[in-house]
Amino acid sequence: MNTVTVELILNGKKIGPIDVAQGTMMIQFLHEYLNLTGTKFGCGAGICHACVILEKTKTGHVTHRTCIKGVGAFNGMNLMTIEGHANIDVKTEALVLHPVQQAFIDHFSFQCGWCTSGFVNEAIGYYESLKQQPVVQSELRAALEHHLGTHVCRCTGYVKYYQAMENLILSQPELIR
Amino acid sequence: MKQWMGIGIFTGILAVGFIYLGSGQTAVINPELNNIKVSEAIKERGRQVAIEGDCVACHTGPNGAEFAGGLHFLSPFGDIYSTNITPDKTHGIGNYSREDFYRAVKFGYSINSGNLYPAMPYTSYRKLNDEDMNALWTYFQSVKPIEQANKDNDLIFPTNIRFTLGGWNQLFFDDSDFKKTVGKSDIWNQGKYFVEAAGHCGECHTPRNIGFAMKSNAALQGAIIEGWDAVDITAKQLKKRGWTHNELIRFFKEGESNLGSAFAGMYTAINHSLRHMKRENLSAISTYLLDEDQHSTMTITSQLTTEAANSPRFLTEDEKAQKGYQGYVSYCAGCHGLDGLGKPNAVVAINNNSVLTADSAYNAIAVILRGLPSKRQSLIQGTVAMNGFSSEISDLELTELVNFARVVWGGHSDSVIDVDEVKAIRKQLDESGYLKDSGPDKSHSGL
């Protein structure tokens, strides 16, 4: 059996080097090898973006679909999945969600939750990018449509996802020009 | 001084006369045509000619009424919108006489707006014979009038001056009737008539000269249009890629074949036009394109290539060890499978796919960067959308991937596409606006 050697950083932890069957898709690797099942398998054809995870690069963030990309494509990357965004408060030991996650909950953005991991990763990538490059307020809606528009949701019709992001960003003046 | 003025005025008059004579508004038709009685048979033939000419594809806007116009075309000179060609008296062709209709379709002159831009392929329709033109005119009289205003074009100076197109016609318009080729069979010439006239295949598949006119000496030799390579469909190249008579007919009828499926403009042409045509007409087209004059419509030829394509071909261990295969697994195998076999009615098979067997690697590179919308040919046939990888795949990865695929699945003994070539195609597509992420597949191409 042909294998590919994979070594990467996932949610801050080093993974590998590990030999994986050559045809393994990244989502299979997350589920079967690492037991990280928060990333959801949707269409399996790279269309719905439910399976998107986040890569931290030197210049910012990039998102990747994991259902149609082999694990070898992720070799050497620094990645974040849905399991890696919340933190434990050292004082209270309570779980603190990322502001984007909290906003989605506050706005009841999702129902069944299948698309949520993809939305969270895409939205966090965009949210973090605003810290370096704030958005012009009048262009915010178009920018959200541009960044989140590839994600398919079949429950809430996108509106509440977009509202959550809009309200979150507008509540932080440093993200707006 | 006066002498120079006189020469200037004289030259100006000559130029205006030259342009006027090329405008098409002086074209006349055989007066006897006006005496033809309308019949259901003629009207039905007209409907067929409209299908063969694919009028509906360009003259129907997004989710709009048939033939009411409004479809946008991005030309090198700006935005062009197709017009309303229903018999509506205010916005359409309701006030046209038969002669006006001929002038518009065959000579590019409209009484509503003046000279038509050659985005309307009158340059090909010029070859339509009187019988078909008469049928087309009869059919369009019976179309439901739609009261929909035309959108104004937005073109740069001086291309926004329609009158100057008379000059373009004088310089570039082949104003000659269709000619049968002596020594060829009737079915071959029938195919030639369709390809050159109603089918207007050359409008996409023939390269254009400096004046954006089709190069008559390079007919059907392929051209880049709307960010795709409308491939070389000369007989030699079609045969080289493995096309046979029956495979071409299946491709025209279903948009699918063992050598790949239709996409982009060709999918539109098949969806609206070719698949609605009679099999014997498709057979004629195939006979002409393949330059094979011995076919009857029922002939089943030996199809070594397509038989080979029919049987699954698994990659060898050696092939899987080649540079480029890892890229294939990383970006493509999730849908197309580890051996490129695809999935029936969902994902196209890669082995022997015309995109890879073509001499040019343009479409192979472009499709990976751009992706494709989903297609549906029938209730049981279709393909899922392919998302583009322009934001994910590097030029080097793409180069290695395309070279690997062209050798392994495209039948090339070697493929030496270099990174600069990929870079140039990416840059061209990006500058033309073809690499914008289109989002979820909201542009479903239904029936």
Distance CA A71, CA A33 (A): 11
Q: How far is CA A145 from the centre of its chain?
A: 16
**Which candidate, B379, B358, B355, places its Cα nearest to that of B368?**
B355
Tokens (6 digits) for B288: 């002409």
Per-residue pLDDT band at B13 (split at 50, 70, 90): low
CB atoms inside a 10 Å sphere around CB B265? 16
Distance CA B366, CA B388 (A): 9
Q: How far is CA B67 from the centre of its chain?
A: 18
Q: Which of B334, B346, B391 sits opposite A69 (nearest CB)?
A: B334
Distance CA B64, CA A104 (A): 38
Residue B441 has pLDDT above 80, yes or no: no
**In 3-state terms, chain B is what percent helix, strand and coil (to 5)?**
45, 10, 45
Q: Does B318 touch chain A (CB under 8 A)?
A: no
**In order along chain A (177 residues), what is the average pLDDT of each group of 10 residues?**
90 95 93 96 90 94 92 94 92 91 96 96 96 94 92 89 96 94
Distance CA B131, CA B145 (A): 24
**Which candidate, B178, B234, B169, B243, places its Cα nearest to that of B206?**
B234
Q: Does B322 touch chain A (CB under 8 A)?
A: no
The rounded percent of chain B whose pLDDT value lies above 90 is: 59
Is the separation of the CB atoms in B61 and B69 below 8 Å? yes
Closest Cα in chain B, distance from residue A176 (Å): 24
B139, amino acid identity = Y
Residue B228 has pLDDT above 90, yes or no: yes
Closest Cα in chain B, distance from residue A139 (Å): 17
Per-residue pLDDT band at B11 (split at 50, 70, 90): low
Q: Does B341 touch chain A (CB under 8 A)?
A: no
- Helices vs strands, H then E, count in chain B: 21, 11
Q: In Å, what is the CA distance from B431 to each residue of B80, B231, B370?
A: 19, 22, 13
pLDDT digits (tens, 9 = 90+) for B264-302: 999 999 999 999 999 999 999 999 999 988 654 444 444
pLDDT digits (tens, 9 = 90+) for B114-138: 899 888 999 999 999 999 999 999 9
Q: In Å, what is the CA distance from B125 to each residue of A17, A155, B56, B201, B372?
A: 64, 50, 15, 11, 30
Residue B2 has pLDDT above 60, yes or no: yes
Amino acid B300: pLDDT:
42
**Which candidate, B260, B188, B223, places its Cα nearest to that of B360?**
B223
Is the separation of the CB atoms in B114 and B168 below 8 Å? no
CB–CB contact B384 A47 (8 Å) = yes
Per-residue pLDDT band at B446 (split at 50, 70, 90): very low
Distance CA A8, CA A14 (A): 6
pLDDT digits (tens, 9 = 90+) for B71-91: 998 888 889 999 999 999 999
What DSSP string describes B183-208?
TS-HHHHHHHHHHHTTT-THHHHS-B
B439, amino acid identity = G
Tokens (6 digits) for B284: 């004629």
Q: pTM for this one?
A: 0.83
Q: Which of A25, A47, A62 sits opposite B440 (nearest CB)?
A: A47
Tell me the chain A residues in contact with residue B439 when contact means C-beta distances shorter than 8 Å: 149-150
Is the separation of the CB atoms in B93 and B141 below 8 Å? no
Tell me the chain B residues in contact with residue A67 when contact means C-beta distances shorter than 8 Å: 334
CB–CB contact A4 B326 (8 Å) = yes
CB–CB contact A67 B320 (8 Å) = no
Amino acid A150: pLDDT:
87
Distance CA B329, CA B340 (A): 10
Amino acid B18: pLDDT:
59
Averaged pLDDT for residues B223-231: 93
**Which candidate, B95, B129, B138, places its Cα nearest to that of B113?**
B95
Distance CA A8, CA A18 (A): 10
Nearest-5° Cα angle at B371, B312 to A28: 65
Strands (E) across B111-217 are located at: 114-115, 154-155
Comparing alpha-carbon positions, the chain A residue that sits nearest to B343 is: A45
Is the separation of the CB atoms in B267 and B283 below 8 Å? no
Closest Cα in chain A, distance from residue B431 (Å): 18
**CB burial class (10 A; 0-12, 13-18, 19+) of residue B439?**
middle
pLDDT digits (tens, 9 = 90+) for B172-207: 888 889 999 999 999 999 999 999 999 999 999 999
Across all residues in chain B, what is the average pLDDT? 86
A130, amino acid identity = L
Comparing alpha-carbon positions, the chain B residue that sits nearest to A66 is: B334
Q: B347 pairs with which residues across the strands?
A: B343
Distance CA A97, CA A82 (A): 11
Amino acid B211: pLDDT:
87
Helix locations, B54-153, DSSP H: 55-58, 98-107, 122-125, 130-142
The rounded percent of chain B whose pLDDT value lies above 70 is: 88
pLDDT digits (tens, 9 = 90+) for B394-433: 999 999 999 999 999 999 999 899 999 999 999 999 998 8
CB atoms inside a 10 Å sphere around CB A142? 12
Per-residue pLDDT band at B31 (split at 50, 70, 90): confident
Q: Which of A22, A47, A65 sits opposite B385 (nearest CB)?
A: A47
pLDDT digits (tens, 9 = 90+) for B316-355: 988 888 888 989 998 999 899 999 998 888 899 999 899 9
Q: Which of A64, A72, A151 sits opposite B392 (nearest CB)?
A: A64
Is the separation of the CB atoms in B403 and B415 below 8 Å? yes
CB–CB contact B329 A68 (8 Å) = no
Residue B443 has pLDDT above 90, yes or no: no
Distance CA A66, CA A49 (A): 9
Tell me the chain B residues in contact with residue A146 when contact means C-beta distances shorter than 8 Å: 437
CB–CB contact B439 A65 (8 Å) = no
Amino acid B298: pLDDT:
42
Is the separation of the CB atoms in B329 and A72 below 8 Å? yes
Tokens (6 digits) for B147: 């009261």
Tell me the chain B residues in contact with residue A22 when contact means C-beta distances shorter than 8 Å: 320, 326, 329, 338
| Cα Rg of chain B (Å, integer) | 24
Is the separation of the CB atoms in B70 and B151 below 8 Å? yes
Selected residue with higher pLDDT from B356 and B159: B356
Judge if the upstream peptide bond of residue B344 is cis by omega within 30 degrees of 0: no
The secondary structure element, H or E, covering residue B407 is: helix B395-408
Amino acid B378: pLDDT:
77
Per-residue pLDDT band at B230 (split at 50, 70, 90): very high
CB atoms inside a 10 Å sphere around CB A174? 8
